[in-house]
Each structure stands twice: as C-alpha cells, then as structure tokens.
Amino acid sequence: MSKTSREDFEALVRRSGASLTEAQIDVIYQGWGFVEPMLERIRAHGRERAAEPAHVFRPDIYVPDVDVPDVQVPDVDVRGQK
C-alpha cells in the first residue's frame, strides 16, 4: 500500500515527461509500493551535514600533468587555530 495517493503519483509520472496511459500508470503505481520504502531508507538517516556522497569531484584527474609545488605546512590548522 503506497503512502502516495494515486493522484499525486500520476502527477509525478506526468512530470517525468513520459506519456503513459491511465492503465500503465495503474500498473506502475503497484510497483511504487515497493519503491517507496527504499526512498524512506535512504532518507531516514540523521546524517551529519558534512556527510558527502560516494561520488567525489577531483579536479586533478582532468589535468594529470600539473606540477604539485612543494607545500610548506603552516603552523595553524585549517580552522586557524594554533
């Protein structure tokens, strides 16, 4: 049993841009009953704000030949505390 009403589900389908018949939407609505708990699982965790996605952006992979200069390690941490 889905928590999303049939009307709200149809709005989701229409927003996707796919042209489905009412009968096709009825069929997919049955499957949504299995998908909705999955969404609750991935949403349900009280994550830290800084918890990042598994995919990370790495600018260096686009310029692999760039030289890395010698870096002097400052006597402060990144938050500016001695």
Partner 1 sequence: MMDTPTIAEAASLIAARQLSPVELTQACLDRIAALNDTLSAFIVVTPERALEQARAAEARVMKGEPLGKLDGIPIAHKDIYQTRGIATTAHSKLLQGWIPEEDATTVRSLAAAGTVMLGKLATHEFAFGGPAFDLPWPPARNPWNPDHFTAGSSSGTGAAVAAGLILGGTGSDTGGSIRGPAAMCGIAGIKPTYGLCPRTGILPLAYSLDHAGPMAWTVEDCALLLQNMAGFDPADPASSSRPVPDFSARLGQSVQGLRIGVPRHWHETDSPVADAVQQGIDAALAIWQAQGAEIVEVVLPSLFEYQAANFVILTSEAWALHEPFMRTRFNDYGELLRDRMIFGGLFSSADYVQALRRRRELCQITAAATRDVDVLVTAGVRAEAPRIDNMPKWAGLADPGFANPFNITGWPAMCVCSGFGTGGLPVAIQIAAKPFQEPTLFQVADAFEKATPHRTRRPSLSRG
Give the binding site for partner 1 (CB under 8 A).
12-13, 15-20, 24, 27-28, 30-32, 34-35, 37-39, 41-43, 45, 47, 51-55, 61
Q: In whole angstroms, what is the distance from residue 22 CA to residue 48 CA? A: 41
Instruction: For the CB of residue 69, give the shortest distance to partner 1 in the complex, in Å.
Output: 23
- Minimum CB distance to partner 1 smaller for 68 or for 73: 68
Extract the tokens encoding 74: 């400052």
Nearest Cα to Cα of residue 30 among 2, 3, 8: 2
- Minimum CB distance to partner 1 smaller for 61 or for 76: 61
CB contact at 8 A, 20 and 13: yes
**C-alpha separations of 76 from 68, 69, 70 in Å:** 21, 19, 17
- Minimum CB distance to partner 1 smaller for 42 or for 76: 42
Instruction: For the CB of residue 82, give the shortest distance to partner 1 in the complex, in Å.
Output: 31
